[in-house]
Structure 1
Amino acid sequence: MFTGLVQAVGQLQRCSGGVELLVPADAGLDPAALALGDSVAVDGVCLTVTQRSAHGFKADVSEETLARTTLAAKADRRGWVNLEPALRLADRLGGHLVSGHVDGQGTVVAVEQQPASWRLVLRWTNPAYGRYVCEKASVAVDGISLTVADCSADGAEFWIAVIPHTWNTTTLQQLRLGDAVNLEADLLAKYTERLLAWRGQAGEASGSRRSEGLITPGWLAEHGWS
């Protein structure tokens, strides 16, 4: 589990069986502090450390991960990525709960510098994921915990106000129109949707008036809400 608070930026390249991260000495993440088997979020993708070196670490990457994320394209061009080691239970949760399981990619629609921030507009490649997006919702963009400032009616397109600190210490400053990013919707929203759908199916099987997991006025009255 991660918080979406990036601790370092490293350079990604392909290696036999997976990818290799090259971490600058002054990046803020010491590869020597990592143990084999540790989890590290790489542009929002949870990867497992399989080998360490003085300059970084290696990780295996499955075909599913390569197909769903931007890691393959970034590794091919030795691109820069955001890094965050896994959260400890005693750590502060300064961002939001990020699983490191990327839902899909998004596209940069606009990047605009404003007096006190940058306006970053993104669009889900698969618009169905827009149902998890709403105003002031949390979303992980390339592993960075960010807040949705506003969005389209279906949530497929949304924009974020990026403060200077985040802009200057992550790879967001490198984004250009049309670039692809890794997106992970709020974990709590996905679990809530799944539980409501399951309860709806169970209710239909038992003859309940609830259908398709919807909370209706009738269901609320039945359970003591007036």
Structure 2
Amino acid sequence: MFTGIIEEMGRMRRVYRQGQAMLLTVEASRVLEDVAIGDSIAVNGVCLTVVAFDGDSFTADVMPETYRQTNLGELRSGNPVNLERAMGAQKRFGGHIVQGHVDTSGRIVSRQPEENAVVFTLEPDDKSMLRYVLARGSIAIDGISLTVIRTDNETFAVSIIPHTLAETVLALKGPGDRVNLEADILGKYVERLLSFQSGEQPGTGRGRKSGGLTEAFLAENGYL
């Protein structure tokens, strides 16, 4: 589990591709301080497993499913990337729950300054993820924990303070660039739980009708 608080920007040293499988070597410093084989490090919001490391880099595999669902396939040697180690039990929880399991990639539609902030408007490739996105809710963009300021059926927008912009790869991105998107996990679990009451497959709207969320249902499932 991650928090979406980026620890440092690393840089791609080597990108090896074999079909839709990849082997990435990333130059880093801070995230290597206590690294071990098997540790999880989020690279642009994608949870990857360390398979090798040395004094100034680590290497991780990318499987085909991750290649298809994220923008990692666009990485080239020299590209900067956001890095975050898995959250330690002793650390403050500064962002929101980020799994490193990207829902879809998306495209930056616009980047507009607004006094001390910059507003990014984004369009997900898979519009169905927007059912989990709401104003004042949380979303991870390339692994960065951000707050949604508005949304509709096609896009959503976030406002970014100067510190976050300066410390992450979003500083280098603009309209047309692609990013990884992960919605807040809470909405996904609520949808899944309610689907068993309604008989629907999550996200499809198919299945038998029911009376909706009731006090009896909440009590039966431990919420009351």
Q: Please, what TM-score do these two structures have when normalized by structure 2?
A: 0.86
Structure 1 partner of 2:73: 72
Distance 1:222 1:177 in 2: 45
Determine whether 1:49 maps to 2:50.
yes
Percent identity over the alignment is: 38
2:212 partner SS: coil
Distance 2:216 2:31 in 1: 56
The offset of 1:52, in angstroms, is 0.6
The offset of 1:30, in angstroms, is 4.5
Distance 1:48 1:222 in 2: 39
Distance 1:60 1:213 in 2: 46
1:44–1:100 CA contact under 8 A, matched in 2: yes
Structure 1 partner of 2:185: 187
2:69–2:103 CA contact under 8 A, matched in 1: yes
Structure 2 partner of 1:207: none
Distance 1:138 1:119 in 2: 15
The offset of 1:200, in angstroms, is 2.0
1:32–1:54 CA contact under 8 A, matched in 2: no
2:128 partner SS: helix
Distance 1:84 1:147 in 2: 18
Q: Which runs of 4+ in 1 moved over 3 A?
A: 219-224
Structure 2 partner of 1:118: 118
Structure 2 residue identity aligned to 1:20: T
CA 213–145 in structure 1, closer or farther in 2 if over 3 Å, else same = farther
Structure 1: segments with no counterpart, 5+ residues: 203-209
Distance 1:107 1:223 in 2: 38
CA 8–223 in structure 1, closer or farther in 2 if over 3 Å, else same = closer
The offset of 1:199, in angstroms, is 2.3
Structure 1 residue identity aligned to 2:24: V
The offset of 1:91, in angstroms, is 1.4
Structure 2: segments with no counterpart, 5+ residues: 201-207, 220-224
2:47–2:101 CA contact under 8 A, matched in 1: yes
Distance 1:192 1:160 in 2: 24
1:201–1:213 CA contact under 8 A, matched in 2: no
1:33 partner SS: coil
CA 34–164 in structure 1, closer or farther in 2 if over 3 Å, else same = same
Give me the CA root mean square deviation. 2.1
2:199 partner SS: helix
Q: Which has the higher Rg, Structure 1 or Structure 2? A: 1
Distance 1:62 1:212 in 2: 40
Structure 2 partner of 1:196: 194
Structure 2 residue identity aligned to 1:91: K
The correspondence of residues 206-221 of structure 1 with structure 2, limited to 5 A, is 211=209, 214-215=212-213, 219-220=214-215
